[in-house]
Structure 1
């Protein structure tokens, strides 16, 4: 699996998410794109792992592709996610349409491409949205061609997370 992002839960504007201390690590199968069912949160072709700050870093596997050609460091810019007249998040959609450098968002709500696919946790509770990632530029991530990835956590269990994408 390819490591695609890490998200600090403290950066979320959702108090139920930001009150949990931790980092969400996101991985997806990028071998033979389209053949892994990595769009499905429950297929096993992706992983979302919650780690506590200060935990030891995950070590790379001994063989296979383990890193991209480059690292991309991003900055976060606050914005108002409450406007939803035409879309689930009008300000986010306007930002994405107006700036090719917008690669996603942390907090607010998901902006679904096909319809709500909020996953449920093993405990039965719907999971809370954490982040949306755009397939743009030279990110090296394939979400089906112009798709988005969605990261979720369970705020009841505090240690379960899921990742899926739509295009």
Structure 2
């Protein structure tokens, strides 16, 4: 059983075209910064290059807990799947909670996990096992889980099937794309209420969705 973990890899330039959390979004010409239903700009969370483009994730942080950033389709979050060509930095709004205080570079690491390490009364979960075991030495109770910023591909960790969002354009169930953790440093991390974020995408329609557990 394998999972493709996203690992914190130091800092990155704010406008770099590398996997990262924070910084400035790169988007096609004419893109405007998304706005929440509360009227404030969404906060840019992650720039994730994938095989068929770039996933750009935004979540409302203007008044955490007041807007339903945890629900797909609530208007309090946004996921875009952009083509790789022609991307340019987007002008950041002058007011509102728009960017993270730190840009964190991401490297990917394929980790093989043993289903026997899972609780015998529970279904094996590749992401949960991979994150829990990351850089944990034999006999050590805790590893370096804070270094794990999520994962790419695979299946959504412990998410009920009825929570998988449908594409607003074609009504087909979206494909799971990534997990996103709040961040490596609690002082500068995204505020997701301590929850794990899930990114979904409909590749034919180039639509995306975000929710938390």
Q: Structure 1 residue 132 and structure 2 residue 179: aligned?
A: yes
Q: 8 Å contact 2:197–2:212 — kept in the other structure?
A: yes
With normalisation by structure 2, the TM-score equals 0.64
> Tell me, what secondary structure is at the counterpart of 1:95?
helix
| Cα gap change, 1:141 to 1:44, in 2 (>3 Å) | same
User: In the alignment, which residue of structure 1 is the partner of 2:199?
Assistant: 151
Q: Give the Å deviation of 1:53.
A: 1.0
User: In the alignment, which residue of structure 1 is the partner of 2:57?
Assistant: 26
Question: For 2:196 and 2:156, how far apart are their aligned partners in 1?
Answer: 10
Q: Give the Å deviation of 1:153.
A: 0.7
Q: Give the Å deviation of 1:51.
A: 1.1
Q: 8 Å contact 1:88–1:109 — kept in the other structure?
A: no
User: In the alignment, which residue of structure 2 is the partner of 1:15?
Assistant: none
Larger relative strand fraction: 2
Aligned length: 152
Question: For 2:79 and 2:171, how far apart are their aligned partners in 1?
Answer: 18
Q: Give the Å deviation of 1:126.
A: 0.3
> Tell me, what secondary structure is at the counterpart of 1:75?
strand
| Cα gap change, 1:80 to 1:71, in 2 (>3 Å) | same
Q: Give the Å deviation of 1:81.
A: 7.6
| Cα gap change, 1:65 to 1:31, in 2 (>3 Å) | closer
**In terms of Rg, which structure is larger?**
2
User: In the alignment, which residue of structure 2 is the partner of 1:67?
Assistant: 99
Q: Give the Å deviation of 1:136.
A: 4.4
> Tell me, what secondary structure is at the counterpart of 2:107?
coil
Question: For 2:70 and 2:58, how far apart are their aligned partners in 1?
Answer: 12
Structure 1: segments with no counterpart, 5+ residues: 11-20
For residues 78-89 of structure 1, the aligned pairs below 5 Å read: 78-80=110-112, 86-87=122-123, 89=125
Structure 2: segments with no counterpart, 5+ residues: 1-41, 134-143
For residues 1-167 of structure 1, the aligned pairs below 5 Å read: 1-10=42-51, 21-54=52-85, 55-80=87-112, 86-87=122-123, 89-90=125-126, 92-98=127-133, 99-100=144-145, 101-112=147-158, 115-116=160-161, 117-122=163-168, 123-138=170-185, 140-145=189-194, 147-157=195-205, 159-166=206-213
Q: Give the Å deviation of 1:125.
A: 0.5
Q: 8 Å contact 2:62–2:96 — kept in the other structure?
A: no
